Structure formats: structure tokens, C-alpha cells
Amino acid sequence: MPVSLESIAALAKNRGFVFQSSEIYGGIRSAYDYGPLGVELLKNVKDEWWRAMVQERDDVVGLDSAILQARQVWRASGHEAVFTDPLVECRNCNQRFRVDKLEDANTCPNCGATNSFTEARAFNLMFRTHTGPVEDDDNLVYLRPETAQGIFINFDNVRRTARLKLPFGVAQVGKSFRNEITPGQFVFRTREFEQMEMEYFCRPQDAPAQFEYWVKTRHEWYLGLGMSSENLRIRPHDADELSHYSASTVDIEYAFPWGWDELEGIANRTDFDLRQHSEASGVDLRYFDQEANERFYPYVIEPAAGATRTTFAFLIDSYHEEEVRGEKRVVLSLHPRLAPYKVAILPLSKKAELIEPAERLATELRRHFMLEVDLTQSIGRRYRRQDEIGTPFCVTVDFETLEDQAVTIRHRDSMEQDRVAMSGVYEFLAKRL
């Protein structure tokens, strides 16, 4: 049965994955805080992306650019003029909506009034703030709405210092901000979120093949981390959906509880951004091909994913409810590399003679994995809790351990158990994580 948004939100809150931001003051709808487990899951998603996109490749390097950039960046990129959503206001209840997200263009989804909408106007999604003490137009800056521009404006710095030759990519993970008119669906659409973006620079004639390659590669990344293939699809954008910089875009979509929606976009941004920044800054950002003795603007293929949105999709995809011996079992069958804790160590009793070897094992394993030692409640309840937070292995230290120096390792998904020598636990886990 498909999981409901309410079940995911409840688990996320009760187990410490995601909390409403500013909750003690009633909360704000558009921002969320990641709790002790959420921060691990989010970090693991970002680390897996980085591993696949940077570490395991010899043609991609990383960057961490500033959130505050010169206003000219967003003028040249086109965001100041056209990074907008069409907004209407209901004259009856004064609520504002995105026209393109309204189910019925004549009826207000809040108060039900008909034909009450104002004319649509373009609403710019960038958050504005000021640098320094004077709040005037000269000091206006935007919080970045995408990480990508930080890569384009550093194109030459990165190419030169990392001695890169085409084709090559520059990857970045970080916060972005959009003053979304209708944030919602839990962490799916928020005003502050994290992106994982890579700009892959290539010769213009190679762009179509690179585009195909990156669509396939990114699709496989989700599958490789255990996301169900039936919950993923690839959808090309219609011409009227394309962003102002894109010649073609394909979305990787996920079957969210409310229907198919975007997880990641892969765009052919052509030479739009490098050309714009060259013209606006006066700095020549063309690439010089020594062999051909020619200078040209590379094309860019951009796989742009949301880190927070992807984390949410992994939570949904891994959530299962099943019945075991007449009892409901909730399991997050997260890929072991994504699981917040890789292992839980559970002494069967609180007696010092069991706690001591459990702590000894924990000290050894902590150097390699995030783990939890749990002493509370019955062993059955402790297993259930670990299942619910996606811990792939539970190690039980029991009275026999004192005799045979071995422990029981329980597998989350099959619930099967293995007896393993304490000295071999690290190797056992390392092979499976």
C-alpha cells in the first residue's frame, strides 16, 4: 500500500528526522530543521552524491561558493528579470496562489470563491537582503536561488587551478533559497533547501550525447541506492516549460504520495551562462583549445538535484508496514550506506557484565560507523525501534557472549540472525556496508 504523507511526517517528527522550524512559536510552514537522524540521512545522501559525482570520477572537481554574490551575477544570469512564478490573489480571502498550480483556474482553493482572482502578475522568487548598514538599492543582494551560478562565475578559476581540459564538470552541494508562493508537501517544496548540482562543460557538438549520458547516469544513481524502479520515471519538458536558459530539459520524477513530481532536472544550458557572464563582466570566459588554436564558449549539461527533496524521497521509498507474528512492524529499508545508524548495539540486560563488552565493541566500531548503544526496554521493542529508523544491523550482547566471546547479529530486512565472534564483527559489517 502506498505510504501517506501523514505517516512519513509523523515518523519523521517522532523519531527525530525532521522538525517544523520555529515549532515552539507555532512554526513556519516553509522551513524545516533536521534532527539527529535526519541530519545523518541528509548527510549520507549528499555524501553518496559526492562520491558518485566527484570522488569516483577523474573529470569532475568540487566547489563551495558563497551564498551571497554580487547582484550583477543575477542580472547577467537572467534571474532578476525572469526567475518568476505567475501569482494571483483571491479578492475574497486575500490568499495568493501560483496560477500554474491551481486545479481550477476560476475557483479559490482556500475559500471556494469563484471568479475572484486578480490578473496574474510575475512574482520574483529571489529573497532580497542588504549588505552593510544601509538598506538601499546599491547594497541590495539576493540569497542564491541555485548553486549553479557560483560555478559559472568561477569557471576560469577552477579550470586554471585544477588544470582541466574539456570535457569536465564542477560539482557543488549547498543551500539555496526561493520565496516560493506555495511551499508545501512537507519538505518537498520549502523556501530554504539544499541542492546538489553539477555543471558539465563540453564542446557544443558533444552536448546532445552528454545530455543522454547524464540522464542515464543520474537515473542509475537512484536505482543503485535502492529506490524502486517503478517509482521513478523520466519526463522530457515540453517547450513551454523550459527555463529561460535551457535548450532541453528532462526531469527525473518520483511517485510521491500526491502523484508524480520532480526529483531532479537535467538541462542542456547551452553556452547561455558563460556567454552572459562574459558579456556582463567583460571577462572572457571562453575556453582556449590549444590543439585547434581556437577559443569558444563550452556548452553545459547540468544535472540538478535537490538534496532535501531526494532525502524525502528515500524516506518515502523505504517506508514499509508489515505484519510479523500478529504485530505491525514499520521498517525503513534504507540502503545501508544511507541509513543514519549502521548498527545498534543492544546488551540483553543492563547488568555491568554485559554493558562492559557492549561498550568495548561500540568504542571499536565507532571509529568506522555511526552507531547507537541502546539499553532501554525489551529486546523486541529495541529491534522495532531500530527497524523504524532503518538501522540495517543490530548486535545483541547476551550472557553467552561471556562464555563464547560471540554476539548475535540481526539483519533488519530478513530478521535473520548470525552468531559472529566479537573479533570479527567489524569485518562482518564492513563487507555489508
Residues near ligand GAP, by CB under 6 A: 146, 148, 178, 180, 189-190, 193, 195, 197, 262-265, 302, 304-306, 308-309
Contact of 278 with 188, CB cutoff 8 Å: no
Q: How far is the CB of 149 from ligand GAP (least distance, A)?
A: 8
Helix (H) or strand (E) holding 244: none
Nearer residue to ligand GAP within complex by CB, 107 or 243: 243
Q: How far is the CB of 245 from ligand GAP (least distance, A)?
A: 8
Q: How far is the CB of 268 from ligand GAP (least distance, A)?
A: 12
Sheet of 84-89, strands arranged across:
96-98, 84-89, 121-124
Q: How far is the CB of 357 from ligand GAP (least distance, A)?
A: 45
Contact of 420 with 406, CB cutoff 8 Å: yes
Cis peptide before 167 (omega within 30 of 0): yes
Half-sphere exposure of 193 (CA within 13 A, CB side): 26
Residue at shortest CB range from ligand GAP: 306
For residue 60, the cross-strand partners are 169
Among 389, 418, 393, 397, CA closest to 346? 397
Q: How far is the CB of 302 from ligand GAP (least distance, A)?
A: 6
Nearer residue to ligand GAP within complex by CB, 150 or 392: 150
CA distance 101 to 390: 34
Among 1, 29, 3, CA closest to 315? 3
Contact of 206 with 214, CB cutoff 8 Å: no
Among 314, 67, 274, 65, CA closest to 178? 67
Contact of 127 with 192, CB cutoff 8 Å: no
Nearer residue to ligand GAP within complex by CB, 69 or 92: 69
Nearer residue to ligand GAP within complex by CB, 178 or 382: 178
Nearer residue to ligand GAP within complex by CB, 262 or 359: 262
Nearer residue to ligand GAP within complex by CB, 117 or 256: 256
Q: How far is the CB of 370 from ligand GAP (least distance, A)?
A: 25
Q: How far is the CB of 400 from ligand GAP (least distance, A)?
A: 49
Nearer residue to ligand GAP within complex by CB, 189 or 277: 189
